[in-house]
Amino acid sequence: MAWTRRAFGLTALAAGCASAPRGEDVIITGGPIYSGGGRVEAVRIRDGRFVFVGALADARVGGPAREIDLGGAAAFPGFCDSHVHLVGVGMAAMVLDLVGVASIAALQQQLRAYAVAHPDGPIIGRGWIETHWPERRFPTRADIDAVVSDRPVFLERIDGHAAVANTAALTLGQIGESTPDPGGGRIERDASGAATGMLIDNATALVQSRLPAPTPAMRREALRQAAQIYAARGWTGVANMSTSGEEAMLFLEFATNQALPLHADIYLTPEASDPLFVRGPFGMGRAHVRGVKLYMDGALGSRGAALLAPYNDAAGSGLLVTPAEEVARFARRARERGVQVAAHAIGDRGNRLVLDAYRDAFADNPTALRAARWRIEHAQVLAPGDIPRFAGMGVIASMQPSHAISDMHFAPARLGEARLGGAYAWASLLRSGATIAAGSDAPVEKGDPLIEFYAACHRHDLNGFAGPNWRLDEAVSRAQALAMLTSAGAYAAFSENERGDIAVGKRADLSCFSVDLMTCAPEEIPRARAVLTICEGEVTHAS
């Protein structure tokens, strides 16, 4: 009943949608501008759309206009993060930030300082990753108890698919020696059978569900901050994944009040999806509910990604977070209702099972699957035989280039040499004819369009390193990287006629950076900055 009332609220917001007021014509010039037709000198914007693309002299014809000089910066179609958790980006600033901690000792030091500064209540943190740590292991509850033992501590790994809990948190979650692993999850145990404190995938909910939930005010502030952060980084659009009903309400409210500085295509959690199945895609202004996000498996770093063969560096083949038959049932229902599906799949088994579920849901009419534009989120590790299935079926590969330059430090150990050929296989997918919509998966990654572009076309980490077996031939051209971050994202959200390119009649979305991404040295790309962001003709960031 709670969601039914909220769904009514969404309907009311949709009915009250209003258009933002428009002002004078604007001409953008003074630097290279890359449109689908090539490099141009100027664009003219009127009422939120491009009305001219071409030579500056011709742009000035047609009456007075305010000119914005790029000062040598380069302009591109608006960049779209095709996979992000935007409220999570904002919430990350409100909890213990463990991104970049270099060891268990460093984690303990930051936890100790945070505990002193926040003396009351449970401690929640996120962002650690153990692959570079000198200890070469996951943290344990003993590590956390040594610093904080009198109240629950719950620290998520950077991928959000694993967490370490102290003894107080395990007690809160009623996790003991006899607690069974939940479906799609694993409680890590030592040789004696005692829980180590590490919880994988669905096991994290045993504790997380008992921790205080963020207040509505916290969620509102998180979305506000994150949207501004994203505009300042140069993004003009996002596909927001695993969106709760409460979060969807916030997006739609912000859009109604013209307080959303970017386009937001929303993919709900299954629990929040009932209104979508009743009335189909809906939205207002810059926010639209497009589909539903499912989970098939876990993450590679925490060995939860479902593989066809066991991990190379540990026992087991990963986890199915959702039973395959449940995903298949959901896919059939979504096809009947015309709802777009986006399914998380990282391992080669997870990806195959999702492809099979999609195929079976459209068994009587395969061409309808192409029109439905269903997506696989991440598509990180693919069996070679499954790569051409994306193009053949019309399934969109929603991939995050930065995962490859983060994961290169542990993926070879997890997968072994043979499976690397199908890992982060951007060039192979594009050669087969597939569409890749690129994003960041922030807050798992930073959420920086320049890092995503750099990773896609250079495939080295931010220190310039790439291992000898890291398949540099899977890097893409700069033109392909640009398309993955612009036009492909628009296509994946059924918006290619409205945005994704600089062309007359399309919405005036521009991402302008301090360097020319198409010509500069690769190492300059992640060091650049966004100097101007324009969404529907509105300047949402300038520096």
308-345 per-position pLDDT tens digit: 999 999 999 999 999 999 999 999 999 999 999 999 99
DSSP secondary structure code for residue 246 in this structure: H
Tokens standing for residue 194: 């005692």
Residue 237 has pLDDT above 90, yes or no: yes
- Angle formed at CA 143 by CA 447 and CA 196, multiple of 5 degrees: 90
Residue 11 has pLDDT above 50, yes or no: no
Within a domain: residue 68? no
Within a domain: residue 422? yes
For the chain, what is the domain count? 1
Helix/strand/coil for 68: strand
Within a domain: residue 161? yes
Identify whether the C-beta of residue 345 lies closer than 8 Å to the C-beta of residue 378.
Answer: yes
Residue listed under structure tokens 């398309």: 483
Within a domain: residue 247? yes
Backbone angles phi, psi at 425, to 5 degrees: -90, 60
Q: Which H or E run includes 276?
A: helix 274-279
pLDDT of residue 8: 31
Residue 41 has pLDDT above 70, yes or no: yes
Within a domain: residue 388? yes
pLDDT band at 62 (very low <50, low <70, confident <90, very high): confident
Average pLDDT over the chain, rounded to an integer: 94
Within a domain: residue 217? yes
Identify whether the C-beta of residue 152 lies closer than 8 Å to the C-beta of residue 173.
Answer: no
Within a domain: residue 362? yes
Nearest to 495 by CA among 457, 536, 460, 440: 536
Nearest to 412 by CA among 301, 318, 306, 308: 301
Nearest to 104 by CA among 75, 76, 70, 145: 145
Residue 17 has pLDDT above 90, yes or no: no
CA dist 489 and 401 (Å) reads 14
Nearest to 293 by CA among 311, 261, 270: 270
What percent of the chain has a predicted confidence (pLDDT) above 70?
Answer: 96
Identify whether the C-beta of residue 311 lies closer than 8 Å to the C-beta of residue 318.
Answer: yes
Neighbour tally for 137: CB within 10 Å: 12
pLDDT of residue 22: 55
166-191 per-position pLDDT tens digit: 999 999 999 998 999 999 999 999 99
- Mean pLDDT of the 395-407 span: 97
Nearest to 34 by CA among 490, 512, 505, 373: 512
User: 90-99, 312-321, 402-411, 478-487: which has the minimum mean pLDDT?
Assistant: 90-99
pLDDT of residue 36: 82
Q: Which H or E run includes 428?
A: helix 426-431
Nearest to 485 by CA among 499, 500, 496, 464: 500
Q: Beta partners for 292?
A: 268, 341
User: 19-28, 115-124, 302-311: which has the minimum mean pLDDT?
Assistant: 19-28
Backbone angles phi, psi at 139, to 5 degrees: -70, 165
User: 276-280, 374-378, 517-521: which has the minimum mean pLDDT?
Assistant: 276-280
DSSP secondary structure code for residue 363 in this structure: T
Helical H segments across 441-498, by residue range:
449-458, 478-485, 487-492
DSSP secondary structure code for residue 380 in this structure: -
Based on the number of CB atoms within 10 Å of its own CB, is 363 exposed (0-12), middle (13-18) or buried (19 or more)?
Answer: exposed
DSSP labels, 10-58 = HHHHHHT--PPP--S-EEEEEEEEEETTEEEEEEEEETTEEEEEE-HHH
- Mean pLDDT of the 433-442 span: 98
pLDDT of residue 520: 98
pLDDT band at 74 (very low <50, low <70, confident <90, very high): very high
pLDDT of residue 92: 86
CA dist 462 and 448 (Å) reads 12
CATH number of 431's domain: 3.20.20.140
Q: Which domain holds residue 144?
A: 1-25+79-496
Backbone angles phi, psi at 454, to 5 degrees: -60, -50
Helix/strand/coil for 156: strand
E strands in 461-514: 510-513
Within a domain: residue 14? yes
Residue 15 has pLDDT above 60, yes or no: no
Helical H segments across 159-244, by residue range:
167-172, 205-208, 216-233
140-158 per-position pLDDT tens digit: 999 999 999 999 999 999 8
pLDDT of residue 10: 36
What percent of the chain has a predicted confidence (pLDDT) above 90?
Answer: 91
Backbone angles phi, psi at 428, to 5 degrees: -65, -45
How many Å from the N-terminal Cα to the C-terminal Cα in the chain? 47
Backbone angles phi, psi at 241, to 5 degrees: -100, 155
Identify whether the C-beta of residue 194 lies closer than 8 Å to the C-beta of residue 142.
Answer: no
